[in-house]
Amino acid sequence: MKLRRAAAWLLWWAIPVLAWAQQPAEMKPVTDRLAASIYNGPSVATLGELADGIGGRLTGSPAYVRSTEWAAAKFRSYGIENVKLEPFTIPAGWQRGTATGAMLAPLARPLNLASMGWAPSTPAGGVQGTVVVVADVAPEGLKSRAGELRGKIVLLDTTRIYADGYGKALPKMEAAWLTFQKAGVLAVVFADRDKNNVLNAHSVGWGAKLLPLPAAEIGMEDAKLIQREMERGPVIIQFTIENKTSGETTVNNVVAEIRGSERPEEWILIGAHLDSWDFGTGAQDNGTGAISVLEIGRALMSLGKAPRRSVRLALWGGEEQGLLGSYAYTQTHLDELDKCVAVLNTDNGAGHPKGWKVEGREDLKKAMQPWSDGLLKDLNGGELSTDTTYDTDHGPFLLQGIPALDLSVDMTHYFEIHHKSSDTIDKVDALDFKAGEAIVAVTAYAIAQNETPIAPHIDHAAVGEIVKKAKLEDLLVNVGVWKP
Ligand SMILES: [Zn+2]
């Protein structure tokens, strides 16, 4: 009797465990074919077409437009029929022109300088003025300094301004621009954070809005020199930037769909941003991610039979200006997000892969574990991390309560190239790149094919808990994508 009861207990527990454990094994013959197709596939050559053939793809620029047409044609060449360019608008278009600058006094020497993204051009002949450091942009203090700021060039001490986090500083910075403008500040300069006067392409605001004043970044050592010279006396600098700007601009996301073979109304989405900054050719930020999405489309089509659920393949614009394309998608497709089973994003470079970030969701981590152990471990993708960020395009989906996964890779060397002129294809390790692609492909297939959804959607309050725990509330509220 005792033995029978024990056996019954064992059976009771073993059945669900076996069901879990068997699913990855059942899918393995197919996912092995998928991974093999990726490893033997043309991703490196395709990345060459994008990074070297089209180059940097600043959102809204002619190069970005070319990249969307190129990507749509690629999807079609793989036999995917449902391919669309889906438009959204950004407040302003911006393209970089030329930038030169120099310290005039006390030393005469050139400055390593570039325009800040979405900065207007300087007046003809440039701006020239004495440098004043502003380390606190609290409105009252800044207004009391208005007289002192007139006709000057402000060097913003961003280390102090962003000390309490970027999100908290955002509204203060927005107000500060207007105070500077009213006070008659000529221009604003920022010190870059990287040594050797290396410059990182970036903008200071959120959402592709034109800055009210000309703004430039200066190499770290140059900025330090300016500050040391200021202890000895006034420092005069001069700079000229010429950019092309336009008003509200339409930008396209590229979205392709492979219809599911059994439950086509349910879908998963694999996404990566196609836009890049313009110093380099956007090879790893995010050429490798974008090519992964294309490659997974090609490899899935090569299987001959689609998984149960539909797979949407999305290439976003406007990521670098604040996840604008993916956010727009969640708003345009709001009424069908309940049918989205999961979102997989890849945008952390092509370092040696680790696995997935499950964005704060312990339940998703638990649900993913059998797949990580059964299918992804052997591909170098078995790790699961609950780290939560709003730094790339899984973010808007996370806020909708959708299970959102972001590919996790070794980022030790990523910031040596990130947003820099060295973000070029020669830094891409083909094997690490393909390993990352294979992990995304296999995970996507497993989630799209599995009998039950990987994890449920969570409600607003539960998302709020994740947002709070990750200390993202200030940022999300201040950029207008979240109401607690
Ligand atoms: Zn990126």
- 178: DSSP letter: H
Residue 235 lies inside a defined structural domain of this protein: yes
Measured in Å, residue 98 CA sits from the centre of ligand 1 at 24
Distances (CA, A) of 233 to 10, 130, 236, 356, 392: 82, 10, 10, 53, 43
Residue 14 lies inside a defined structural domain of this protein: no
Measured in Å, residue 275 CA sits from the centre of ligand 1 at 8
Residue 103 lies inside a defined structural domain of this protein: yes
Same domain, 385 and 469: yes
How far apart CA 190 and CA 202 sit, in angstroms, is 11
Nearest CA to 246 among 210, 214, 205?
210
Same domain, 442 and 388: yes
Nearest CA to 423 among 305, 286, 230?
286
Give the residue numbers spanning the domain of 296. 27-91+248-478
Measured in Å, residue 324 CA sits from the centre of ligand 1 at 12
Q: What is the model's pLDDT at position 10?
A: 54
Same domain, 239 and 264: no
Same domain, 309 and 237: no
Residue 109 lies inside a defined structural domain of this protein: yes
Q: What are the tens digits of pLDDT across the range 24-53?
A: 889 999 999 999 999 999 999 999 999 999
State the virtual CA torsion across 259, 377, 294, 366 in degrees, nearest 10. Answer: 50
How far apart CA 49 and CA 92 sit, in angstroms, is 28
Measured in Å, residue 102 CA sits from the centre of ligand 1 at 31
Residue 136 — φ and ψ, nearest 5°? -135, 120
Residue with tokens 């692609």: 437
Mean pLDDT by groups of 10 residues along the chain of 484 residues: 56 49 83 98 98 98 98 98 97 98 98 98 97 94 93 96 93 95 97 97 95 98 98 98 97 98 98 98 98 98 97 98 98 98 98 98 97 97 97 98 98 97 98 98 97 97 98 96 96
CATH number, domain with residue 418: 3.40.630.10
Of 201, 224, 243, which one is at a domain's C-terminal end?
A: 243
Concatenating the DSSP letter of every residue in 15-79 gives HHHHHHHHHHHHHHHHHHHHHHHHHTS-HHHHHHHHHTTT----TTSHHHHHHHHHHHHHHHHTT
Same domain, 293 and 207: no
* Beta strands at 249-258 and 82-90: parallel, antiparallel or unpaired: antiparallel
Helix (H, G, I), strand (E, B) or coil at 160: helix
Same domain, 259 and 120: no
Same domain, 295 and 204: no
Domain count within the chain: 2
CATH number, domain with residue 172: 3.50.30.30
How far apart CA 192 and CA 197 sit, in angstroms, is 8
Residue 347 lies inside a defined structural domain of this protein: yes
Measured in Å, residue 445 CA sits from the centre of ligand 1 at 24
Measured in Å, residue 392 CA sits from the centre of ligand 1 at 6
Q: What are the tens digits of pLDDT across the range 103-142?
A: 999 999 999 999 999 999 999 999 999 999 999 999 889 9
Residue 5 lies inside a defined structural domain of this protein: no
Q: Tell me how crowded residue 382 is: count the other CB atoms within 10 A of its CB.
A: 20
Tokens for 134?
């502003």
Of 197, 226, 243, which one is at a domain's C-terminal end?
A: 243
Q: What is the model's pLDDT at position 18?
A: 46
Measured in Å, residue 478 CA sits from the centre of ligand 1 at 21
Of 215, 243, 271, which one is at a domain's C-terminal end?
A: 243
Same domain, 346 and 456: yes
Q: What is the model's pLDDT at position 23?
A: 80
Determine contact, residues 297/258, Cβ cutoff 8 Å. yes
In this structure, which amino acid lies at residue 432? D
Determine contact, residues 286/314, Cβ cutoff 8 Å. no
Same domain, 335 and 456: yes
Q: What is the model's pLDDT at position 481?
A: 97
Q: What are the tens digits of pLDDT across the range 233-270?
A: 999 999 999 999 999 999 999 999 999 999 999 999 99
Measured in Å, residue 286 CA sits from the centre of ligand 1 at 5
Measured in Å, residue 272 CA sits from the centre of ligand 1 at 8
Element (H, E) at 129: strand 127-134
Residue 2 lies inside a defined structural domain of this protein: no
Q: In 212-336, which ranges are E strands?
A: 215-218, 236-241, 244-246, 249-258, 263-273, 309-316
Same domain, 116 and 201: yes
Measured in Å, residue 473 CA sits from the centre of ligand 1 at 21
Same domain, 87 and 103: no
Same domain, 330 and 460: yes
Q: What is the model's pLDDT at position 19?
A: 45
Residue 204 lies inside a defined structural domain of this protein: yes
Measured in Å, residue 481 CA sits from the centre of ligand 1 at 19
